[in-house]
A and B are shown apart, each in its own frame.
Chain A
Amino acid sequence: AQKVTQAQTEISVVEKEDVTLDCVYETRDTTYYLFWYKQPPSGELVFLIRRNSFDEQNEISGRYSWNFQKSTSSFNFTITASQVVDSAVYFCALSEAARSNDYKLSFGAGTTVTVRA
């Protein structure tokens, strides 16, 4: 069963538009961690944000913000005032604390974001 679902395959926006990426996760653990990673065209995986299951406070960090809702098992990510350099594949990921391999990341399929100038 897919633990992390990113329903949006591709999103295309014009520069300065906001972009919201959807992520729905599935777990039976009460303690877990959710992440967003970015993979630009150069190929590396860049850590963006992490949220613990016991902290539902939503935050803003620069142009990034996230909306974590346990009630709907969603962890959405927003880029405000997008820039061309934001063009990348964005992955949502889950790690579950109760597992013996509690660092293991279950990744979603990724959402390709294209920001046009």
Chain B
Amino acid sequence: EAQVTQNPRYLITVTGKKLTVTCSQNMNHEYMSWYRQDPGLGLRQIYYSMNVEVTDKGDVPEGYKVSRKEKRNFPLILESPSPNQTSLYFCASGLDRGKTQYFGPGTRLLVL
């Protein structure tokens, strides 16, 4: 089944404790990205990657890191999480044709 997977789906952590949210897609998509969704602010792009070893900042990259060592994986790293990073995070991947992005199931993060 073609899909984007994210792990963990739910995470509660404390300020300053490094964490990684994994994202993997099995559709051989070149493009992958991360969004966060917050009440009143909507969905905003954090980082994106056009291909392996090619990453760039989205609209809200502060406090996040990403890497793209393999085509299928695009982890999101929070080196020192803070409470303002409490959010619902989505990973997405896309094909060139039509630019459609398919989203993972989301990761709910709570930083205490």
Closest to A104 in B: B45
Q: Which chain B residues lie closer than 8 Å to A43 at the CB level?
A: 88, 105-106, 108
- In the complex, the answer to whether A45 meets B106 with C-beta atoms within 8 Å is yes
Closest to A33 in B: B99
- In the complex, the answer to whether B106 meets A102 with C-beta atoms within 8 Å is no
Task: Please give the distance in Å from A68's CB to the nearest CB on chain B.
Answer: 14
Interface centre among A37, A43, A95 (most CB of B within 10 A): A43
Q: How far is the CA of A104 from the CA of B99 in the complex (A)?
A: 9
Q: How far is the CA of A75 from the CA of B48 in the complex (A)?
A: 26
Q: How far is the CA of A108 from the CA of B94 in the complex (A)?
A: 20
Closest to A97 in B: B99
Q: Which chain B residues lie closer than 8 Å to A105 at the CB level?
A: 35, 43, 45, 101
Give the 8 A-B residue pairs with the shortest CB-CB distance, closest first: A45-B103, A107-B43, A44-B105, A33-B99, A103-B31, A43-B106, A95-B99, A50-B100
